[in-house]
């Protein structure tokens, strides 16, 4: 722990002398096979940023091998199953052994350095093993969240050109079966280049089998050689691709580096969670999201920590589950999302107070703004005012935490992500890029490169440049709205673009619209966000039907189904409003600002409507709104 004054001094140094600062951190947190030639080269002007150029390292070596000399018998992973009677521990030695074996399995199936490997697994230790095995042999993993549909899986496999998929026969969440292999089978009907599917047997149920293509994980592992050297990787060799939604087009493959990413996640994990040797650390995020990558797997394992992986859900078998798991495994640091906090708060305090939670020392929040009620409940009821709350702001693209308190260092203000991490220079600007005065809302941008930042959009550099660097030249655009108070505290309000955060999951409105028009009866669709007391936001869809098609409950079900099949259940529209016409400007642009107001029943001041091609749609939309439950 450092003092507030020390933070301020170090922060200034990190900005004034980034090479000196990050060079030191890179040596402290990472073991390099050979040193870099230059800490930082290039910049945001030419978009030629490189961190630790020439440095050689391996991610799996840093997560595993180097800890074996110090604590081979310490738990690396505590796995808690969906069923509260099922849990197991993998020591660093055991995890190392499994990762080496699986690395050899991958090699046996012809996976080479630079190849992309798709991982579509539930929250089981094999997910970590598969990721680390890829890293060990220099393959690039692309983890796809197990809740995504076959269609979404397919487009990710094709975009990254994966030739191998790792999955499970089935997953289990909240006592329900998740048919993963079935989704893979459907997806692969249109992925001719996938030659191998490695299947973890998570349940006893049998699944259809393709002899030429499918391989049981346990069979391959039992025959695999237990040693595998770690491939020597360049600092800027890619470590992984992770797809995320934006305001336009298909999800983007965010590409992260090896050297810069690892330095950044190791350091942020250590400082933001003040991790102390021997402690049990639990991040409840699924490995299918960036939080799972950076703060369930890489960050904690780089620091030799014990990380808990939880297969289940907060409500099963009771709403005490999170707190029961904390007591069972004596969790010291717990990191979760506001949506889970709100959902558990609604269930009543007794589910919390009947548990001990004495082991807890630090609580974290991530993924969306945490509202005052949720923050206070987390602090007063869950933490019993004993633990600081770190509200961490960051993104898939940033690789690691960007704005967050450091526990014991930053004086907290409820609901504020507080101050920037070392090396991070945020700024709030208006739409023209001019800085706004303190306290005024604006666009959050980042002025200088940091080691955890994305390298590019996989195979689409134009999209990388246009999305992140065109709106405010020379700066990284976050897509978030925020303000900064006179004491330099940042308050993140939410997205300024057409991205919706449903239960902390990032969903592009355009993706949902394209899914809806998949339905034969649908002519046009426009999707907006609506505030939701538990999920933060929910999806509200305006749908126009083709001539002769009548609205009905059945049709509504089919539209919802189209979205679930194209994206997954996380993108399910909460409300569908059948409408005769969408409000369009004379140039044909849908006026979403107006739709947002109508969806939210906030129609007293609709603003300037003079550019509408047909102003009469407004009254119709307001009238139709009354029929939506």
Of 98 and 416, the one with the shorter C-beta distance to ligand WT7 is: 416
Q: Given the rule CB under 6 A, which of 60-68, 362-370, 406-414, 509-517 is the region that contacts ligand WT7?
A: 362-370
Closest CB 333 distance from ligand WT7, rounded Å: 16
* Window 505-524: residues binding ligand WT7 (CB under 6 A): 506
Whether the CB-CB separation of 435 and 427 falls below 8 Å is answered with yes
In a 10 Å sphere around its CB, with 0-12 CB exposed, 13-18 middle and 19+ buried, how is residue 97 labelled?
Answer: middle
* Window 289-308: residues binding ligand WT7 (CB under 6 A): 289-291
Binder to ligand WT7 among 479, 536, 568, 573 (CB under 6 A)? 479
Choose among 81, 125, 506, 148: nearest CA to 313: 81
Of 229 and 531, the one with the shorter C-beta distance to ligand WT7 is: 531
Q: Is 320 in the site for ligand WT7 (CB under 6 A)?
A: no
Listed in sequence order, the DSSP H helices in 30-111 are: 59-60, 66-68, 92-108
Binder to ligand WT7 among 369, 388, 407, 423 (CB under 6 A)? 369
Q: Given the rule CB under 6 A, which of 161-169, 222-230, 431-439, 472-480 is the region that contacts ligand WT7?
A: 472-480
Closest CB 52 distance from ligand WT7, rounded Å: 23
Q: Is 477 in the site for ligand WT7 (CB under 6 A)?
A: no
Closest CB 459 distance from ligand WT7, rounded Å: 20
Closest CB 392 distance from ligand WT7, rounded Å: 5
Question: What's the rounded Cα separation, in Å, for the pair 471 and 494?
Answer: 18
* Window 419-448: residues binding ligand WT7 (CB under 6 A): none
Question: What's the rounded Cα separation, in Å, for the pair 384 and 72?
Answer: 35
Collapsing DSSP to helix, strand or coil, 309 comes out as: strand
Choose among 211, 134, 204: nearest CA to 166: 134
Q: Is 142 in the site for ligand WT7 (CB under 6 A)?
A: no
Question: What's the rounded Cα separation, in Å, for the pair 4 and 10?
Answer: 10
Q: Given the rule CB under 6 A, which of 186-194, 361-369, 551-559, 569-577 is the region that contacts ligand WT7?
A: 361-369
Which residues, other chains included, contact 179 with Cβ-Cβ below 8 Å and sequence gap of 6+? 170
Of 501 and 535, the one with the shorter C-beta distance to ligand WT7 is: 501
Closest CB 491 distance from ligand WT7, rounded Å: 9
Which residues, other chains included, contact 215 with Cβ-Cβ below 8 Å and sequence gap of 6+? 109, 196, 197, 198, 199
Q: Where are any strands of DSSP class E within 151-193?
A: 164-168, 171-173, 176-178
Taking CB atoms, the residue at the shortest distance from ligand WT7 is: 396
DSSP 420: B
Collapsing DSSP to helix, strand or coil, 574 comes out as: coil
- The count of residues interacting with ligand WT7 (CB under 6 A) is 23
Q: Given the rule CB under 6 A, which of 184-192, 405-413, 490-498, 522-530 is the region that contacts ligand WT7?
A: 490-498
Closest CB 129 distance from ligand WT7, rounded Å: 23
* Window 385-404: residues binding ligand WT7 (CB under 6 A): 391-396
Of 261 and 394, the one with the shorter C-beta distance to ligand WT7 is: 394
575: left (phi over 0), alpha (psi -120 to 50) or beta: beta
Question: What's the rounded Cα separation, in Å, for the pair 577 and 556?
Answer: 9
Binder to ligand WT7 among 50, 250, 269, 495 (CB under 6 A)? 495
The H helix count followed by the E strand count for the chain is: 21, 30
Closest CB 599 distance from ligand WT7, rounded Å: 19
Closest CB 581 distance from ligand WT7, rounded Å: 31
Question: What's the rounded Cα separation, in Å, for the pair 46 and 473?
Answer: 10
Q: Is 417 in the site for ligand WT7 (CB under 6 A)?
A: yes
Binder to ligand WT7 among 366, 406, 484, 621 (CB under 6 A)? 366
Q: Is 492 in the site for ligand WT7 (CB under 6 A)?
A: yes
Choose among 453, 119, 62: nearest CA to 286: 119
Choose among 310, 300, 247: nearest CA to 270: 300
Q: Which residues bind ligand WT7 (CB under 6 A)?
A: 244, 289-291, 366-369, 391-396, 417, 478-480, 492, 494-495, 501, 506
């Amino acid at each position: 722990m450092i003092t507030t004054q020390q933070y301020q001094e170090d922060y200034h140094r990190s900005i004034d002398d980034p090479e000196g600062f990050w060079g030191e951190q890179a040596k402290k947190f990472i073991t390099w096979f050979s040193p870099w030639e230059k800490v930082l080269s290039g910049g945001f002007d030419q978009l030629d940023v490189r961190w630790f150029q020439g440095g050689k390292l391996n991610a799996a070596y840093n997560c595993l091998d180097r800890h074996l000399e110090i604590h081979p018998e310490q738990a690396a992973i505590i796995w808690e199953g969906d069923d509260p009677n099922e849990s197991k521990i993998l020591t660093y030695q055991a995890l190392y052994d499994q990762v080496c074996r699986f690395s050899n399995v991958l090699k046996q199936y012809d996976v080479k350095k630079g190849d992309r490997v798709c991982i579509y697994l539930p929250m089981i230790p094999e997910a970590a093993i598969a990721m680390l095995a890829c890293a060990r042999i220099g393959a690039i993993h692309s983890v796809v969240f197990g809740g995504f549909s076959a269609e979404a899986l397919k487009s990710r496999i094709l975009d990254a050109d994966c030739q191998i998929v790792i999955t499970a026969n089935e997953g289990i969440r909240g006592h329900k079966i998740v048919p993963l292999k079935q989704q893979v089978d459907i997806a692969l009907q249109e992925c001719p280049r996938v030659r191998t599917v490695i299947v973890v047997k998570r349940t006893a149920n049998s699944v259809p089998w393709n002899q030429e293509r499918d391989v049981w994980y346990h069979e391959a592992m039992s025959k695999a050689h237990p040693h595998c050297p770690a491939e020597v990787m360049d600092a800027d060799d890619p470590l992984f691709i992770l797809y995320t939604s934006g305001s336009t087009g298909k999800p983007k493959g965010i590409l992260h580096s090896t050297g810069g990413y690892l330095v950044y996640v190791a350091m942020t994990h250590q400082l933001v969670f003040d991790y102390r040797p021997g402690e049990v650390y639990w991040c409840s995020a699924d490995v299918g999201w960036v939080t799972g990558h950076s703060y369930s797997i890489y960050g904690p394992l780089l620091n030799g920590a014990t990380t808990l992986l939880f297969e289940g859900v907060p409500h099963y078998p009771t709403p005490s589950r999170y707190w029961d798991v904390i007591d069972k495994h004596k969790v010291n640091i717990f990191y979760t999302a506001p949506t889970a906090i709100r959902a558990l708060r609604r269930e009543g305090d007794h589910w919390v107070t009947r548990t001990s939670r004495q082991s807890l020392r630090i609580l974290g929040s991530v993924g969306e703004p945490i509202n005052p009620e949720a923050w206070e409940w987390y602090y007063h009821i869950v933490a019993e005012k004993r633990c600081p709350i770190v509200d961490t702001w960051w993104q898939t693209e940033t690789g690691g935490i960007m704005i967050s308190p450091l526990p014991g260092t930053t004086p907290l203000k409820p609901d504020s992500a507080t101050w920037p991490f070392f090396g991070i220079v945020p700024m709030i600007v208006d739409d023209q890029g001019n800085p706004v005065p303190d306290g005024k809302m604006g666009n959050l941008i980042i002025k200088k490169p940091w080691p955890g930042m994305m390298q590019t959009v996989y195979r689409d550099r134009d999209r990388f440049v246009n999305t992140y660097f065109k709106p405010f030249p020379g700066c990284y655009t976050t897509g978030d709205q925020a303000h900064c108070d006179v004491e330099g505290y940042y308050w993140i309000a939410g997205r300024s673009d057409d991205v919706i955060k449903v239960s902390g999951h990032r969903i592009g409105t355009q993706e949902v619209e394209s899914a809806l028009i998949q339905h034969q009866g649908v002519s046009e669709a426009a999707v907006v966000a609506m505030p939701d007391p538990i999920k933060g936001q929910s999806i509200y869809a305006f749908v126009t039907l083709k001539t002769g098609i009548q609205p009905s409950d059945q049709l509504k079900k089919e539209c919802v189904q189209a979205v679930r099949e194209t994206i997954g259940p996380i993108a399910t529209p909460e409300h569908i409003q059948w409408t005769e016409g969408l409000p369009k400007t004379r140039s044909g642009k849908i006026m979403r600002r107006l739709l947002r107001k109508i969806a939210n029943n906030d129609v007293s001041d609709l603003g300037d409507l003079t550019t509408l091609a047909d102003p009469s749609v407004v009254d119709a939309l307001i009238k139709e709104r009354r029929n939506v439950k």
